[in-house]
Structure 1
Amino acid sequence: MRIIRLSEVMNRTGLGRSTIYKLMSEELFPRSVELMPRTVGWVETEVEEWILERIARRDG
């Protein structure tokens, strides 16, 4: 399992920081994992699955 930081999440999804946090608050994006106080990351496979779901939805 690999944890990725916000910059990589933004790079992979094409989303901005505020959009990612908005989607998280609406439970539409994987939740972050607290690594240390004021430091979070995301489980790489969860972000990849989220992207693949968008592709599958597009391809119907």
Structure 2
Amino acid sequence: MENLNVNTQQNAAILSALQIPRMLPLKQVIYYTGLSSTTIYDMLDKKSNRYDPTFPIQVKLSKGRVAWVESEVAEWIENKIAARVH
């Protein structure tokens, strides 16, 4: 029984070390940021007036499918909150 407990603890340690990044589809990025899809893509377009180099870049998952790394979106939102003028 003690051996089983050690294996369980080791597995838990391995899983916590191997945190898989969570990916957000566009709909969730829209929801969390309050931005429209047009604004999001404008913020990613270097030719746009709304270009924001701090906005997270999407990851191409497959042909026609992109997503954003949840932690990067969260960090961008936190930075916007921290930068606001009181």
* Length-normalised TM-score, structure 2: 0.65
Per-residue CA deviation, residues 16-45 of structure 1 (Å, 9 max, x unaligned), is 001001111232411000001010000000
In the alignment, does 2:64 pair up with 1:38?
yes
4+ residue runs over 4 A deviation = none
RMSD (CA atoms): 1.3
- Distance (whole Å) between structure 2 residues aligned to residue 17 and residue 28 of structure 1: 17
- Distance (whole Å) between structure 1 residues aligned to residue 43 and residue 79 of structure 2: 15
Gaps of 5+ in 1: none
In the alignment, does 2:76 pair up with 1:56?
no
Please name the residue that 1:4 is paired with: 24
Gaps of 5+ in 2: 1-20, 46-50
